[in-house]
């Protein structure tokens, strides 16, 4: 079920600045795959990153989240409308949207409640698409000296739902109710400083949970300190994050 307490609500400014941006080609594909572009819903919008890019391609975009803190720091556009409400029960009218998207959040939802809400608010023939980023890859030295050991330290602190994303939103986990369509292979590609990479890692929900464990906290703080010796100050790293996706059309005649 979508969490009643958003795990990212305590750090909205850091989340907004440290999280990577999705590739423009993703939003071009979404727009070109929709039969109409009048209205889109970005569900569990967080800082509005996906909603803002959709607003350049759709007449009206509605973005919702349970976190008022995230909404407060979200990006704005004239045709972008924010609301604070859960994914599984919204006040949107029936058959409103030509597109429904969930970015980096489907694994937090209650499928039994969410899918009927999608059917209710989506127009017949609307496109549904959810995505999230997979394990990151970076330069070998940082990969072995920071990323791999940090992931080992954080392993006990991930919520069970994260596996749903890592496994690619399998039907057994999501009860996906629509016929799946093929999606292109998208990947987030960045050149980050080591500090930017660390800032991003510290937005992970598992990292936030781990701070209550003194042993894990000490181990990670040491990893971050040691990692600063791996690259020259100010040097950039290649960071890649493939996207896992699931998409399908809501049945019915458009």
Burial class (CB in 10 A: 0-12, 13-18, 19+), 111: middle
Domain residue ranges in the chain: 12-249
- CATH code linked to domain 12-249: 3.40.50.150
251: its two tokens: 């049945």
pLDDT at 250 over 90: yes
- Cβ-contact 59, 80 below 8 angstroms: no
Tens-digit pLDDT profile for residues 23-70:
999 999 999 999 999 999 999 999 999 999 999 999 999 999 999 999
Residue written as token pair 């392993």 = 155
Residue written as token pair 């005649």 = 253
Tens-digit pLDDT profile for residues 112-160:
999 999 999 999 999 999 999 989 999 999 999 999 999 999 999 999 8
- Cβ-contact 88, 67 below 8 angstroms: no
Tens-digit pLDDT profile for residues 69-78:
999 989 999 9
Going by pLDDT thresholds of 50, 70 and 90, the confidence category of residue 1 is very low
Torsion angle (degrees, nearest 10) of CA 160, 165, 169, 170? -50
| Residue 42: φ, ψ to 5° | -100, 105
- CA pair distance 59, 57, nearest whole angstrom: 7
């Amino acid at each position: 079920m979508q969490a009643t307490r958003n795990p990212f609500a305590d750090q909205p400014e850091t989340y907004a600045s440290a999280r990577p941006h999705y590739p423009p080609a993703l939003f071009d594909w979404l727009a070109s795959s929709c039969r109409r572009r009048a209205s889109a819903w970005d569900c569990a919008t967080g800082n509005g990153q996906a909603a803002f890019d959709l607003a350049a391609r759709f007449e009206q975009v509605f973005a919702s989240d349970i976190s008022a803190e995230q909404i407060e720091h979200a990006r704005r556009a004239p045709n972008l409308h924010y609301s604070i409400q859960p994914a599984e029960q919204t006040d949107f009218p029936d058959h409103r949207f030509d597109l429904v998207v969930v970015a980096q959040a489907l694994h937090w939802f209650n499928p039994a409640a969410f899918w009927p809400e999608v059917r209710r608010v989506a127009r017949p023939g609307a496109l549904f698409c959810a995505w999230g980023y997979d394990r990151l890859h970076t330069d070998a030295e940082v990969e072995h000296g920071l990323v791999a050991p940090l992931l080992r330290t954080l392993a006990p602190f991930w919520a069970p739902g994260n596996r749903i994303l890592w496994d690619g939103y399998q039907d057994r986990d999501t009860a996906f109710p629509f016929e799946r369509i093929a999606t292109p292979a998208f990947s987030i590609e960045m050149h980050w400083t080591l500090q930017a990479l660390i800032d991003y890692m510290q937005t992970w929900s598992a990292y936030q949970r781990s701070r209550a464990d003194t042993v894990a906290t000490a181990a990670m703080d040491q990893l971050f300190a040691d990692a600063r010796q791996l690259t020259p100050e100010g040097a950039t790293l290649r960071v890649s994050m493939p996207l896992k996706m699931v998409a399908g059309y809501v049945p019915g005649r458009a």
